[in-house]
Amino acid sequence: MKPPPLTTRPPVVDRPPSATPGAATTRKEHARRFELADRDHDGSLTREEAAHPETGLPVVSREFTAIDANGDGKLSKAELLRFARERRQANQDRRTGQPS
């Protein structure tokens, strides 16, 4: 026997902007998300901060090694913005059929 359908919606979980589909991709928004994820406010993100379930950046966490251009185990705002710019350009090239 099937359970009765839900008559109320499940509670909305407040997720960080990084987990929101269609999140803004502006430089200002990336900087704001960086600030939220930088839990110890030292100006860089560790792998642990990027992976944090509440304030982390899931894509950044998965791509951490590739984004960490100098290999120091921390991400600067500049490294994160470079990654976002390159990813945005690759997505645009893919949509328009241009080689990356």
Q: What is the pLDDT of residues 53-84, one digit of tens each?
A: 998 899 999 999 999 999 999 999 999 889 88
In order, the DSSP letters of 17-80 are GGGSTT----HHHHHHHHHHH-TT-SSSEEHHHHH-TTT--HHHHHTHHHH-TT-SSEE-HHHH
Tell me which of 79 and 15 has the higher pLDDT: 79
pLDDT of residue 68: 96
Tokens 């560790």 belong to which residue? 46
Please tell me the pTM assigned to this model.
0.65
Give the integer Cα–Cα distance in Å for 73 and 78: 14
| Neighbouring C-beta atoms of residue 20, cutoff 10 Å | 9
| Domain spans in the chain, listed from the N-terminal domain onward | 25-93
Q: Taking the domain 25-93, which CATH number applies?
A: 1.10.238.10
